[in-house]
Amino acid sequence: MTAPPAKYFDEMTGRDGTVLPHYRAFDDWCNERPVEFFAQKRQEADAMFRRAGITFAVYGEEAGSERLIPFDLFPRVLPQHEWDLLARGLDQRVRALNMFLNDVYNEQAILREGIVPPRKVLENAQYRPQMQGIKLPGDVYANVAGVDIVRAGEGEFYVLEDNLRVPSGVSYMLENRKVMMRLFPELFAIHSVQPVDHYPDLLLDTLRQVAPAGAAEPTVVLLTPGPYNSAYFEHTILAQHMGVELVEGQDLLVRDEVVYMRTTRGPQRVDVIYRRVDDDFLDPLVFRPDSSLGVPGIFAAYRAGNVTITNAMGTGVADDKSIYPHVPEMIRFYLSEEPILTNVPTWELRKKQDLQHVLAHLEELVVKEVHGAGGYGMLIGPTSTEAERVEFRERILANPDKYIAQPTLSLSTCPTLVEAGVAPRHVDLRPFVLSGRGVRMVPGGLTRVAMREGSLVVNSSQGGGTKDTWVLE
């Protein structure tokens, strides 16, 4: 395994400092404007986000506290040919992941063939035995996937994580574009930026495609944990843009294995539930009995085929970090194709050899918890202290199964407006992939940016920001 070269690739200036063609018009436009211009626009942007209440709740603080995610005025620009490559790769990968899920919860051919070790799947905390043998519309489990992508060089993309449970962030993609068009209409006049605003339409269409057979005019709802959830803002704008009801568990009831919502005109039947509630909380009769967010009996209605719940329960078994190393093999197994997008090389610490290698190179590697998410519980070798490494080494040795390690990628950077002016900051990309009867996505996705100098962590919970993402035709 070789790590990519250490020098950072900048998406605007490449490696040698000359502005790449797809960034030229933007660069010229910038150079014609004084620094104060951007400072003022930045204040306007802040005011817009705050006025519109585009905030996210922060866990661990006072209930209901809200914060703005830092928004960077400089767009991230991708040329069409790079997006086309990504789109092909994402289509392929998500199709394979859905086939894997369908296989795991039905025939289990991939386990029998020994391509993925059965133990890794069947003993996985994310595996839901209750899902075994349930036939889903179109055999699709993850109707909405948010695949995290990083790049190291030109055309050199890596998949960092497949988020197949309840991926969030798409509202920032939508709102960032809206704010950019309001702040800099002239920029859109000189660039041919592919639109993203139709995402809610695609989503609604996808949800209708997977309605139970027999629902001629399916009623779709979005199930949210409620206003104190960190992504509540996103739930409201998606429901609003799709024109569907935003429901909480208390709004739904199940009668004779049919799901209804409580309306001012009595119970109304529900056919498709786009749920933004975790598996564990969906049905207290089947999953966590202490859940007050879910709906008792909803799983029985689902089993009976009277309602579609999407994403399906148990998709976590395919985006788990312990399964991640097997995705390229899945693609070969199900599609007989070579993977278009590459995995980041991964050491699995449950393997003795890998464990030894990782412990010997802790200061170069990133170590992650297999079930961790949101940038919590990880060690970033190059920026860690000796004490942190010693502590992490003990945690690994106590429970090597719980960890994987990856080389510290030299993530690409994008020019970003910071206190000191314009500076390169590391970015990733989360495109949102919709699977119904086919696979669709809007060009681009959510670009997250590590606002602190040198930082590789882009998660909003760790101080990351976002950028508008442009795919130029």
Partner 1 sequence: MLSRTANDLSWLSRHIERAENTARLLDITYLMSLLPYRVTDQDDKWVEPWAVPLISSGLATEYQARCGDVTAENVLRFMILDAANPSSIFSAIQSARENARAQRGAITIEMWESLNATWLEMRGQTFDRIRQGGTREFFDWVKERSHLFRGVTVGTMLRDEGYTFMRLGTFFERADNTARILDVKYHTLLPSAQEVGGAVDYYQWSALLRSVSAFNAYRKIYSDVITPVRVAELLILREDMPRSLHACMNEIYEILRLICAGAKLEPERLAGEIHAQIHYGQTARIFDFGLHEWLMTFLEQLQTLNAEINQHFLVPVYNPPPTVATTDATPTP
| Contact positions vs partner 1 (CB under 8 A) | 50-53, 130, 226-227, 232-233, 236-237, 239-240, 245-248, 250-251, 253, 255-257, 261-267, 286, 299-300, 303
Shortest approach of partner 1 to residue 107 CB, angstroms?
Answer: 21
Distance, in Å, from the CA atom of 450 to the CA atom of 456, rounded to the nearest integer, reads: 6
Shortest approach of partner 1 to residue 301 CB, angstroms?
Answer: 10
Q: Which is nearer to partner 1, 114 or 266 (CB)?
A: 266
Question: Which amino acid appears at position 318 of this protein?
Answer: A
Alpha helix positions (H), 123-245: 170-183, 185-190, 199-209, 232-242
Return the ∠ at Cα 242 (arms to 237 and 245), rounded to 5°.
Answer: 80
The two tokens of residue 204 are: 């609604």
Q: Which is nearer to partner 1, 229 or 447 (CB)?
A: 229
The two tokens of residue 374 are: 């949101």
Query: What SS3 string covers 338-376?
Result: CCCCEECCCEECCCHHHHHHHHHCHHHEEEEECCCCCCC
Distance, in Å, from the CA atom of 167 to the CA atom of 176, rounded to the nearest integer, reads: 18
Shortest approach of partner 1 to residue 18 CB, angstroms?
Answer: 43
Q: Which is nearer to partner 1, 237 or 307 (CB)?
A: 237
Name every residue whose Cβ is closer than 8 Å to that of residue 93 and which is 6 or more positions away in sequence.
147, 159, 162, 327, 331, 339, 340, 341
Shortest approach of partner 1 to residue 66 CB, angstroms?
Answer: 9
Contact 208, 220 (CB under 8 A): yes
Distance, in Å, from the CA atom of 231 to the CA atom of 302, rounded to the nearest integer, reads: 25
Contact 432, 442 (CB under 8 A): yes
Distance, in Å, from the CA atom of 419 to the CA atom of 34, rounded to the nearest integer, reads: 15
Q: Which is nearer to partner 1, 148 or 271 (CB)?
A: 271
Contact 70, 418 (CB under 8 A): no
Shortest approach of partner 1 to residue 304 CB, angstroms?
Answer: 8
Shortest approach of partner 1 to residue 398 CB, angstroms?
Answer: 36
348 alpha-carbon distance from chain centroid: 22
Distance, in Å, from the CA atom of 163 to the CA atom of 158, rounded to the nearest integer, reads: 14
Q: Which is nearer to partner 1, 48 or 380 (CB)?
A: 48
The two tokens of residue 32 are: 């014609």
The two tokens of residue 380 are: 């970033």
Shortest approach of partner 1 to residue 253 CB, angstroms?
Answer: 7
Distance, in Å, from the CA atom of 157 to the CA atom of 75, rounded to the nearest integer, reads: 19
109 phi and psi angles, rounded to 5 deg: -60, -40
Q: Which is nearer to partner 1, 235 or 321 (CB)?
A: 235
Q: Which is nearer to partner 1, 185 or 266 (CB)?
A: 266
C-alpha distances in Å from residue 449, one per residue of 205, 259, 410:
31, 41, 14
Q: Which is nearer to partner 1, 226 or 372 (CB)?
A: 226
Shortest approach of partner 1 to residue 139 CB, angstroms?
Answer: 21
286: three-class secondary structure by DSSP: coil
Q: Which is nearer to partner 1, 237 or 378 (CB)?
A: 237
The two tokens of residue 93 are: 């990968």
In residues, how long is the chain?
473
Q: Which is nearer to partner 1, 51 or 135 (CB)?
A: 51
Q: Which is nearer to partner 1, 35 or 304 (CB)?
A: 304
Q: Which is nearer to partner 1, 296 or 345 (CB)?
A: 296
Shortest approach of partner 1 to residue 306 CB, angstroms?
Answer: 12
Shortest approach of partner 1 to residue 287 CB, angstroms?
Answer: 10
Shortest approach of partner 1 to residue 249 CB, angstroms?
Answer: 11
Shortest approach of partner 1 to residue 227 CB, angstroms?
Answer: 5
Indicate the burial class of 244 (C-beta count within 10 angstroms; 0-12, 13-18, 19 or more).
buried
